[in-house]
Amino acid sequence: MADENTLKRLKTIEGHLRGVIRMVEEDAYCIDVIRQIQAIEAALNKVSSRILEDHLNSCVITAIQGNDKKERERVLKEITEVFEMSTKV
């Protein structure tokens, strides 16, 4: 799961977040801070979607094609929980 591109994106987001922290420390204009936070959120959502897609194409497919009913139910429940959490934000 932890491919090079995903790690690179997360490290870029980390740097961006540090920039926002500096903006807040320097009392930057609120709207500018909010815009930067929104950019970070969008970048995190993109990384999350990519990780989910990889998971669906590996672990979930393997579980669904397997013979273990409990494992199929478990991975499908996890996916449902991820979507439920995303709507609570």
What sign for the dihedral angle of Cα 42, 48, 52, 54? positive
pLDDT at 16: 98
Contact 89, 45 (CB under 8 A): no
Whole-number average pLDDT of the chain: 93
- What is the pLDDT confidence band of residue 2, given thresholds at 50, 70 and 90? low
For 10, the token pair is 């997360």
Q: Could you read off the pLDDT of 36-61 as tens digits, one per residue? A: 999 999 999 999 999 999 999 999 99
In angstroms, the first-to-last Cα distance of the chain is 25
Q: Domains along the chain?
A: 4-88 (1.20.58.1000)
Task: Give pLDDT, residue 87.
Answer: 82
Between CA 62 and CA 59 the distance in angstroms is 5
Q: pTM of this prediction?
A: 0.83
Contact 16, 3 (CB under 8 A): no
pLDDT of residue 89: 61
